[in-house]
Structure 1
Amino acid sequence: MNRETHTLLKNVFGYDNFRPLQEEIINRTIDGKDSFVLMPTGGGKSICFQIPALVFDGITLVVSPLISLMKDQVQALKANGIKADFFNSSISPQEENEVITKAINGELQLLYLSPEKLISVSNTWLKQLNIKLVAIDEAHCVSMWGHDFRPEYTQLKVFRNSLPNVPFMALTATADKSARKDIEEQLGLKNSKLFISSFDRKNLSIDVRGQVQKKQKLQEIINFINRRKNESGIIYCLSRKNTEEVANYLKENGHSVAFYHAGMNHEERENTQSDFINDDTKIIVATIAFGMGIDKSNVRYVIHYNLPKNLEGYYQEIGRAGRDGLPSETILYYNMRDFVLYSQFADNGANSNMQKEKLHRMLQFTEAKSCRRKILLSYFGEHLTENCGNCDVCENPPKDFEGTILCQKALSGIARMKEKDGITMLINMLRGSNNADIHSKQYFNLKTYGIGKDVSFFDWRDYIIQMANQGLIEIMYSENSALKISPIGWQVLKGEKTIRLTTPLKAKDKKKTQKAIKSTISSNTNTDLFTALKQLRYTISKEEKMPAYIIFNDKTLKLMASELPTTENEFLAISGVGMNKMEKYGDEFMNVIRKFKNSAKPKKITTTQKTFDFYKEGLNPAEIAEKRDLSITTIFSHLSQLYSEGKNIDLEQYVTKETIDKVRVAFNEFDRKLELKPIYEKLNEEVTYSEIRISITLILKNE
């Protein structure tokens, strides 16, 4: 079974190795056991049920609330030669009948359904299917404790009980401890095992910027985007009005941009999302209603124009950047106005206390003066031992100073104002402002009036937030955000305790010095060739009416531009290239690469040459695979290629004469075409692609 799943991973999906936990989850599922998979956005959840679906002789049902994502995933599966379809409210009655017929006739390996459709047909034609696995995606939707509760998910337990011997798999990217237990109970999972993958997306840089004025914020965003022309990005806003304002501002500055919010009609939203997925629109400015169904791998940045409501939502939203593993950037802007507004929303909503608690955690994250990735990961139960080096705090470590006197000035002001006012009034009083509110409350008569005029308004705000984070004061949101002095604050005011504060960072000090993420891809990538390959991909995507990243993602194109594959074996060795895509697109992409190689001498050792160097040192294929962190299938591809080129390779030792004879018969039967898949299927999948490739190489060379 281990051999079969690895073969499927390489030949269907084009990957050499499983990511952490994937193989264990797959094997457990094939053994017929339930699993609960908690993996970050872009962490590889889909492979966990897609490979078992290909192993099973029957159909796998995938339950998902995300209609647009279903369409993308089914397109991606079909592009890899997998029989898949979806069944949801977006298809016509005629299309429904076609899907039902294919499912009943055993012509589908995977069927994606919305929860509403699943419940409505669970006692009709669904009973005729040979169901071998049920995967429930976005499983947090079943929990009242989750941030995206959907009542229809609670009916899935009845369906689960109707299939007692079929393994169920719950998958989500966001579930805290209280939600996890609830999900298992609500879905009726039996003796399930919890798999928690690392939530550390090292390729995402994290930058947080507080109290930036609107005009400056827009200018910073324009400057940021101008440096990233032709790259895809998402900007999240709090309100519909904000999305339209920001989108129009960017459009006026010459950018390819559209807005997206729930106030648009269904067709407008569909078209906007489709244009973004297909790279016809580069930037989307949206409320958080956008993105749940986005599987776009080449989003290079995510900007939060306002404070998110909770860390789960924030993490999921920044997770839409860099899903291909390449370096990507995230920026979060926030101010206290956002926080107060969300607090008011929470007062009027369900689970008010929980929402407010999560909102406070979000604010603590933004105001923190320590490694942000550490804080974010610890929220999901994962602990980093070292600082990440790829967030704004790590790149600009704050300097601290003896801040007791500053704190005493602020605390004295709060006390003299009788703890009835908020941050803005306190700062105006400390700075000696002459505004109407100060005069109406007679605060100009206080001894503390004007004692902090040498400190800027924004620095005072920063210090006061630090005081709140250190527990000196509390912000009473239920009393119009009035500041109250805590017991520790009274100790500081009386001189019984000292306090250190950190120096606020100015915007100009926070310019990113983006760390080069350790990668063998970007340093060797030829930019001109990468651009040409992207253009070819775009052209094909238009012809085939599918998102460009489904053909090949940016990471795969960068590997092509780095490794320069011009033969079938070399092309198959690229991560992300499976048999189906090689046969369908290989010639076109290799032609572009050949033209480039003819006009520019490559500056690096080819991947096959690296394998040959290790072979000459006496390493066997398994040792070379381990040394190069490639699959043994890829190494055999290299050795076959080297043998064909006349290199001194003892290829005969890796395949039996009996296997060569079997391949020869099938090879001749298919008119000696160099297509491996028909031969693989003709031989009942008993001979591996590596053995077929080696056999054909020997047959052709020894004629």
Structure 2
Amino acid sequence: MMVETAAARADSTDSAVLTRAEEILHKVYGHRAFRGNQAEIISHVSAGGDALVLMPTGGGKSICYQIPAMLRDGVGIVVSPLIALMQDQVAALRQIGVAAAFLNSSLQIEEQREVEQQLRKGALQLLYVAPERLTTPRFMDLLATLRPALFAIDEAHCVSQWGHDFRPEYIQLSILHERFPDVPRIALTATADQDTQREIIQRLKLEEAEVYRASFDRPNIRYRLVEKIDAKRQLLNFIQQDHQGESGIVYCQSRNKTEKIAAWLRTHGVTALPYHAGMTQDERRENQHRFITDDGVVVVATVAFGMGIDKPDVRFVAHLDLPSSIEAYYQETGRAGRDGAPADAWLAFGRGDVMMLRKRIAESNAPEARKVIEQRKLDAMLRFCETPECRRMALLGYFGEESQPCGNCDLCLEPQATWDATVAAQKLLSAVLRTGQRFGITHLIDVLRGNVTEKVVHYGHDQLPTFGVGKDLSLHDWRALSSQLISLGFLSVAGDGYNVLAMTEAARPVLKGEQQVMLRKLAERGKGRKRQLGAPAGAQDLDQNLWEALRARRRALAVAQNVPPYVIFHDATLAEIARRKPQNRDAFLEIPGIGERKVARYGQDFMKVIAEFT
């Protein structure tokens, strides 16, 4: 008689869990197979293990905790930082028949009590809650009376003080491990460098957790950078040439700028709305609602916008000001193309932005250790902007991921000319040294170009050997060179607000002629792809009349339920409906993204529309 070993029993259990997970994936979510390491994560968490999941936006992070919550006894508690994010995810879950709810300040007292009553009855599979509410004594006492299936900590990078989106209340989440040591925890983020990953593990007490790293690559996003010359005109040209009538987000550093850019775009035919913390809550809610529910709306916003937006058909994200870190840039650009269709990440890069950000760091009240970290992150962002090679390689390299040239960024599609800047760099470095390393670039250019200004004469710099040796380069060329040498670490900028340049030790081999400096010529670029408007990217083969009719029906259903259209069907799913023209329930279930609940709710509606065209 064969004796079943513990390992065999464990394998059998894992197999049974995975089979149930695949059934849920197919029947509820409408997908046939898991992607990447989703299956491994789901099996691990369902078995009671802790996990840290690093996965790009649109990579399917939510399924990694939603399905384990359905497989385990009790209710899955999801910690989420923004009201909009909770509402979007709960609305989507309810559409596919999952018992989900949220608790936040948008609910009236009676509504909050109703959710709590559902919790006590065991009627919920998933509850979304803000970290501030989760850690209150009242809510912790409520949790103690329940059976939590798991704790999912979304946007886990918020716990890191060195990250780009630090939330102090996230630090308190270590209480979950202390109060509920036997309940599995899964922390998830789409943006975390090595320092941030270590801090997530330390602060959330995830030292024993399995770490799952998916590729950070978003191959459908085209990264494009232009030199900032007339930023708003460049932005308008980009939208009109490549994304007329499509949804997008434009990020600016200041509230005032978002208002001005949005108003200017509207005068040129773009449906543009501002969004920033200085607006009233009602104004922000209205503009966000229009962005989510209407087609072709562009939101011009500070970084306060977008974190809680699941809108899948954002076709572009544009930056009119330089982000302060690659993490911030990656997360913000990641809001484009969540549906996997082609999208653009467009950045207007101005060297004045660099000086402004450096000054902001220097003048902040942050501890010196934090200033050092922020400066290091800014330097990495500058290297990304100045790289002469593939942008995607530079971006992924920052997160510790090796890759090959992508063929889908501006530098791959339109390789830029490079030039031997060694002699010019030596001239600038020499001018920095000979003037005592206490002047800014404007004065140094006057010295190099031989401009006899009052300041140059006053300091006797017209008598230096470097006076007038740089007449062969323009003012613009010298400024560009100085910025690139700063990015490469050959020059540093003093933090006293005067942008004083100093030479670093790394520059000495250049000055001595022992190291060559090859730089790229930064130029305006970015002729994008033009495509037929109306159809989603990559779906121009559709019957346009049927496509518009399906969209109209989807919108009518969404308005009736007060939910975004994409909660009913994503554009990619709607395009497959238009392409396959299903005329019965089984044919509908063959379409990716359509589960049994959605066929029951919407199958007849869309089959009627299809019948009119067949």
Give the secondary-structure state (helix, strand or coil) at the position aligned to 2:123.
coil
Q: Which amino acid aligns with 2:339?
A: D
Report the Cα distance in structure 1 between the residues aligned to 2:101 and 2:358, rounded to whole angstroms.
43
Report the Cα distance in structure 2 between the residues aligned to 1:587 and 1:41, rounded to whole angstroms.
33
1:434, distance to aligned residue in structure 2 (A): 6.8
Q: 1:502 aligns with which of 516, 519, 542?
A: 519
Q: Which amino acid aligns with 2:132?
A: E
Q: Percent identity?
A: 41
Partner residue of 1:226?
Answer: 240
- Alpha-carbon RMSD across the aligned residues, in angstroms, is 2.6
Is the counterpart of residue 309 in structure 1 residue 332 in structure 2?
no
Partner residue of 1:124?
Answer: 141
Report the Cα distance in structure 1 between the residues aligned to 2:210 and 2:338, rounded to whole angstroms.
26
Preserved CA contact (<8 Å) 2:154 2:187? yes
Report the Cα distance in structure 2 between the residues aligned to 1:33 and 1:503, rounded to whole angstroms.
49
Partner residue of 2:406?
Answer: 388
Q: Which amino acid aligns with 2:318?
A: I
Q: Which amino acid aligns with 1:239?
A: S
Give the secondary-structure state (helix, strand or coil) at the position aligned to 1:581.
helix
Taking the TM superposition and a 5 Å limit, the aligned residue runs for 1:65-84 are 65-84=81-100
Cα deviations by residue, 1:443-472 (Å, 9 ceiling, x for unpaired): 566554554444333333233333344554
Taking the TM superposition and a 5 Å limit, the aligned residue runs for 1:221-300 are 221-227=235-241, 228-279=243-294, 282-300=297-315
Report the Cα distance in structure 2 between the residues aligned to 1:502 and 1:46, rounded to whole angstroms.
42
Taking the TM superposition and a 5 Å limit, the aligned residue runs for 1:444-463 are 448-463=466-481
Partner residue of 2:54?
Answer: 38
Report the Cα distance in structure 2 between the residues aligned to 1:261 and 1:315, rounded to whole angstroms.
20
Q: Which amino acid aligns with 1:181?
A: R
Q: Which amino acid aligns with 2:82?
A: L
Report the Cα distance in structure 2 between the residues aligned to 1:184 and 1:413, rounded to whole angstroms.
47
Is the counterpart of residue 483 in structure 1 residue 495 in structure 2?
no
Partner residue of 2:5?
Answer: none
Moved more, 582-591 or 442-451: 442-451
Preserved CA contact (<8 Å) 2:589 2:596? yes
Cα deviations by residue, 1:14-60 (Å, 9 ceiling, x for unpaired): 11221111111111111111111111222211101111122223211
Report the Cα distance in structure 2 between the residues aligned to 1:437 and 1:264, rounded to whole angstroms.
45
Taking the TM superposition and a 5 Å limit, the aligned residue runs for 1:69-218 are 69-120=85-136, 121-189=138-206, 191-210=208-227, 212-213=228-229, 216-218=230-232
1:144, distance to aligned residue in structure 2 (A): 2.5
Moved more, 570-579 or 437-446: 437-446
Give the secondary-structure state (helix, strand or coil) at the position aligned to 1:6.
helix
1:400, distance to aligned residue in structure 2 (A): 2.9
Partner residue of 2:71?
Answer: 55
Q: Which amino acid aligns with 1:153?
A: Y
Kindly tell me: are residues 463 and 512 of structure 1, through their superposed partners in 2, closer, same or farther at Cα, counting changes over 3 Å? farther
Report the Cα distance in structure 2 between the residues aligned to 1:446 and 1:563, rounded to whole angstroms.
76
Partner residue of 2:424?
Answer: 406
Report the Cα distance in structure 2 between the residues aligned to 1:391 and 1:61, rounded to whole angstroms.
39
1:154, distance to aligned residue in structure 2 (A): 2.4
Report the Cα distance in structure 2 between the residues aligned to 1:589 and 1:97, rounded to whole angstroms.
37
1:500, distance to aligned residue in structure 2 (A): 4.3
Is the counterpart of residue 25 in structure 1 residue 44 in structure 2?
no
Report the Cα distance in structure 2 between the residues aligned to 1:528 and 1:429, rounded to whole angstroms.
66
Q: For structure 1, which runs of at least 5 residues remain unmatched after alignment? A: 599-703
Give the secondary-structure state (helix, strand or coil) at the position aligned to 1:36.
strand
Give the secondary-structure state (helix, strand or coil) at the position aligned to 1:182.
helix
Cα deviations by residue, 1:62-83 (Å, 9 ceiling, x for unpaired): 1112111101100000001111
1:222, distance to aligned residue in structure 2 (A): 0.8
Report the Cα distance in structure 2 between the residues aligned to 1:155 and 1:492, rounded to whole angstroms.
49
1:530, distance to aligned residue in structure 2 (A): 3.0
Give the secondary-structure state (helix, strand or coil) at the position aligned to 1:45.
coil
Give the secondary-structure state (helix, strand or coil) at the position aligned to 2:26.
helix
Q: Which amino acid aligns with 2:310?
A: D
Kindly tell me: are residues 164 and 466 of structure 1, through their superposed partners in 2, closer, same or farther at Cα, counting changes over 3 Å? closer
Cα deviations by residue, 1:242-288 (Å, 9 ceiling, x for unpaired): 11111111011121111111111222222221221112670111111
Give the secondary-structure state (helix, strand or coil) at the position aligned to 2:101.
strand
Preserved CA contact (<8 Å) 1:243 1:259? yes
Preserved CA contact (<8 Å) 1:237 1:306? yes
Q: How many residues align?
A: 589
1:567, distance to aligned residue in structure 2 (A): 2.7
Kindly tell me: are residues 268 and 470 of structure 1, through their superposed partners in 2, closer, same or farther at Cα, counting changes over 3 Å? closer
Partner residue of 1:567?
Answer: 584
Cα deviations by residue, 1:515-565 (Å, 9 ceiling, x for unpaired): 99xx99536444443333223222221111101111111111222233333
Report the Cα distance in structure 2 between the residues aligned to 1:6 and 1:198, rounded to whole angstroms.
23
- Rg larger for: 1
Higher relative contact order (CA 8 A, sep 6+): 2
- With normalisation by structure 1, the TM-score equals 0.79
- With normalisation by structure 2, the TM-score equals 0.89
Partner residue of 2:356?
Answer: 341
Preserved CA contact (<8 Å) 2:418 2:521? no
Moved more, 33-42 or 150-159: 150-159
Q: Which amino acid aligns with 2:343?
A: S
